[in-house]
Structure 1
Amino acid sequence: MSEHLPYTRAVVTLDEDGTRLDTSFRTPYLSVMALGADGGRPFLHLSSREAQVVVSTTGGGPVTERDVALARRIAEAAARYLADCERLHTEQSANPQQVDESEQGKAA
């Protein structure tokens, strides 16, 4: 069975359309916090030892309808991620040999 080592990946792309930053957290060493709502401006903060992502209101200003819609999409995506993680964890816990065999097939 291959070992799945944790990592954080960040890629910066510069082209005629501007700058793009892609960050992938593939680690259990991830911190997720919601901060700052008492100050009138909420922050969603995701970080690992290698990278961090902060999401806040448009232009750092007052909360808009678009900010609320984005927060709902984040919450819905997080709920789907949780459901998938719980389902797969349950399936993999019930069939550990099947997980080992599928990993061996990937290594071949």
Structure 2
Amino acid sequence: MALDPYTYLTLSMRPGEPSRVGVSFHTVELRAHSWVGENGKPCFDLSTSEATVTVSTAGPVTDQDLTIARDLFNAAAHYLADCERLHSAAENEAA
């Protein structure tokens, strides 16, 4: 059973603890975009018509920023591989 597309947002705030925001995109309307801002900082967006999540550096690019960018790249590559595998399997079942 397929669900209708949706964006799910949670905000947790407890006294004495850091706030936590969660955004889940479950839609074919998801867009990914990257650019370098006017301030020279690299930026990366995931967005739908309902929400946008932006990732950027806190200042000049550091070794930690490179690690985060590589982690994003590797996670996206893994997501792509899973999507391709599952899409292929669904096509083979339909044939």
Compute the TM-score of the two structures, normalised by the length of structure 1: 0.80
Unaligned runs of 5+ in 1: 98-108
Partner of 1:102: none
Higher mean C-alpha displacement, 10-19 vs 62-71: 10-19
Runs of 4+ residues deviating >2 angstroms: 37-40
Partner of 2:76: 78
The alignment partner of 1:80 has SS state of helix
Asked which structure has the greater CA Rg, the reply is 1
Q: What is the aligned-residue identity percentage?
A: 39
Unaligned runs of 5+ in 2: none
Alignment of structure 1 residues 37-52 onto 2, 5 Å: 40-52=40-52
The amino acid of 2:78's aligned partner reads R
Compute the TM-score of the two structures, normalised by the length of structure 2: 0.91
What is the CA RMSD across the aligned residues, in angstroms? Answer: 1.7
Verify: 1:90 aligned to 2:69, yes or no.
Answer: no
Verify: 1:20 aligned to 2:20, yes or no.
Answer: yes
The alignment partner of 2:28 has SS state of coil
Q: Normalized per residue, which structure has more helix?
A: 1
